Amino acid sequence: MSDHPPFAVTVDVVLLTIRAGELSALVVRRGEAPYRGRWALPGGFVRPDEDLDAAAARELREETGLRHGFHLEQLRTYGAPRRDPRMRTVTVAYLALAPDLTSPVASTDAAEAEWRPVDALLSARPGLAFDHGRILGDALERARAKLEYSPLAAAFCPEEFTIGELRRVYETVWGTAIDPRNFHRKVSKTPGFLVPTGETTTRDGGRPAQLFRRGSLDLLNPPLTRG
Amino acid sequence: MSDHPPFAVTVDVVLLTIRAGELSALVVRRGEAPYRGRWALPGGFVRPDEDLDAAAARELREETGLRHGFHLEQLRTYGAPRRDPRMRTVTVAYLALAPDLTSPVASTDAAEAEWRPVDALLSARPGLAFDHGRILGDALERARAKLEYSPLAAAFCPEEFTIGELRRVYETVWGTAIDPRNFHRKVSKTPGFLVPTGETTTRDGGRPAQLFRRGSLDLLNPPLTRG
DNA sequence: TCAAAAGTGTTAATTCTACACCCATGT
DNA sequence: ACATGGGTGTAGAATTAACACTTTTGA
């Protein structure tokens, strides 16, 4: 009880978005051993004076330039003794959801980061570096589960979005079809979920659709420090 | 990205049970500074060659003698820079649920461990040592939420239990009254939840009640390593 | 015989689900 | 005009909630 062996502590971020109708994750190509050339989750060491949530937000910012408009939550911590062959490392994994970032892909980090469909990443052989395949699988499971009971899906949408766009998020993440009429009724009747902007758009074709913003009383960017 | 400052990594366990009609947690009295004399969650350092789940199970065993019949899951990881004034420590918190352990309270550990009602622990001033008050609060929230959509409540019951006893678990954890008739129908019609033993008991008074065991296809002791 | 808890039946309110139908735009 | 997606109405199914009522024990 008196020895405290040193560990390296890292954060890894599973950043999910929807691109071209596919649920995709941001991955980086590893340039050095181990797992050289394989895809890995973006992440890095927690700094000496940095909280875990702050470290995850920093990694996300370094890879994408994102400073706000995303959802970030702690997922789970992984610490199997030999998960990193170089040293004893414990990683705190985070789940992040963001809209399709076609504009601000400006990565300040040197590593080449790319979007890949989650399905492809999970089924590819060889898989992701380290235990990142399992982390990605857990993140996918969490994301799917949370859509059911939280207004989280709107985190995948741009600032202003239509109900049809929001529905396509659910359909993409779950891989199922949803009745557009019932979905419309359900979300538009949930108080505080959607805030109408008063504007309309025809970008999805057909009759003009109302534009909404995420409700302010939701779970997006929940207090990172809950006092 | 090339420095990896050393961290101490610990596990802390929130072990909940129901004693005398109150939701209670196992806490230990701290014998040394910091927070000398205050209640803390049982926990300790992760060993150099030990997985996180294994460390949590070991701590639980050392404090209670429990080897099986409990539920154990990772809760969340806490790593604020100055959460332990002695050194930079990251703790992986676990949530454990167990039946009332009147018999096997045999602690192999030296620290004096006691059961305390969760309400009292959360409202007492001064509160728990370190950030353990917040951890306990998060654990309570998780436990309440999981009762809603998982068969977890049975983890608080002894090996054989009646439906009324199971109902009292929900009523204690949530602090609400539940209609006994509807509750009976609901749980007895959920396939795989309860396994009838064929025995009955009158220990709760009134008409004899059927005894059940936890269904085997449930979430208790889920695979600690999910392959 | 009475209190207490187990267990069943019934009904009304509510919530899902499927689908008919109309609306307002671009082409 | 017509295809396309947006949006409303409605009827039946399924689920929930409230509560009357019977059963089987201990005291």
Model pLDDT for residues A168-213, shown as the tens digit of each residue: 999 999 999 999 999 999 999 999 999 999 999 999 999 999 999 9
Q: What is the mean pLDDT of residues A34-58?
A: 97
Q: Do B79 and A8 touch (CB under 8 A)?
A: no
* Cα separation, B193 vs B210, whole angstroms: 14
Look at residue B224 and tell me whether its pLDDT is greater than 80: no
Which residue in A2, A77, A149, A224 has the most chain B C-beta atoms within 10 A of its own C-beta, making it the best mutation to test that interface?
A77
Q: Give the pLDDT band (50/70/90) at residue B1.
A: very low
State residue B60's pLDDT score. Answer: 94
Cα B158–Cα B95–Cα B88 angle in degrees, nearest 5: 150
* Cα separation, B30 vs A60, whole angstroms: 39
- B156-192 pLDDT, tens digit per residue, is 999 999 999 999 999 999 999 999 999 999 999 999 9
Q: Of A88, A174, A80, which is closest to residue B53 (Cα–Cα)?
A: A80
- The full length of chain A comes to 227
Residue-averaged pLDDT of chain B: 90
Q: Give the pLDDT band (50/70/90) at residue B4.
A: confident
- B10-46 pLDDT, tens digit per residue, is 999 999 999 999 999 999 999 999 999 999 999 999 9
- d(CA A207, C1' C24) / Å: 5
State residue B222's pLDDT score. Answer: 36
- d(CA B190, C1' C3) / Å: 31
State residue A227's pLDDT score. Answer: 22
User: What is the pTM for the complete model shown?
Assistant: 0.93
The residues near A146 (Cβ < 8 Å, ≥ 6 apart) are: A152
State residue B105's pLDDT score. Answer: 54
Q: Assess contact for B18 and B170: CB atoms under 8 A.
A: no
Which residue in B1, B2, B3, B4 has the most chain A C-beta atoms within 10 A of its own C-beta, making it the best mutation to test that interface?
B4
Q: What are phi and psi of A127, to 5 degrees?
A: -85, -160
Q: Do A45 and B7 touch (CB under 8 A)?
A: no
Those nucleotides of strand C lying less than 7 Å from any protein Cβ are 3-9, 16-21, 23-26
Active site annotation includes B112: yes
Q: Assess contact for B109 and B63: CB atoms under 8 A.
A: yes
- Please tell me if residue A46 touches chain B, with a CB cutoff of 8 Å: yes
Q: Is the CB of B206 under 7 A from strand C?
A: yes
- B41-73 pLDDT, tens digit per residue, is 999 999 999 999 999 999 999 999 888 889 999
- d(CA B109, C1' C12) / Å: 58
Cβ-based contacts with strand D at under 7 Å: A 162-165, 180-182, 184-185, 188, 200, 204-210; B 179, 181-182, 186, 202, 205-208
Contacts with A56 from chain B: Cβ below 8 Å? none
Identify the closest residue of chain A to B77 by CA–CA distance: A77
* Cα separation, B69 vs B213, whole angstroms: 12
State residue B2's pLDDT score. Answer: 52
Task: List the catalytic residue out of A50, A62, A112, A160.
Answer: A112
* Cα separation, B214 vs B159, whole angstroms: 7
Q: Give the pLDDT band (50/70/90) at residue A126.
A: very high
- A149-162 pLDDT, tens digit per residue, is 889 999 999 999 99
Residue A34: asked if its preceding bond is cis (omega within 30°), the reply is yes
- When CB atoms are compared, the residue of A48, A49, A79 closest to B52 is A79
DSSP conformation class of A151: G
Q: What is the mean pLDDT of residues B189-199?
A: 94
State residue A218's pLDDT score. Answer: 47
- When CB atoms are compared, the residue of A7, A77, A87 closest to B77 is A77
Q: Do A79 and B51 touch (CB under 8 A)?
A: yes
* Cα separation, B92 vs B75, whole angstroms: 8
Q: Is the CB of A207 under 7 A from strand C?
A: yes
Contacts with A45 from chain B: Cβ below 8 Å? 1, 3-5
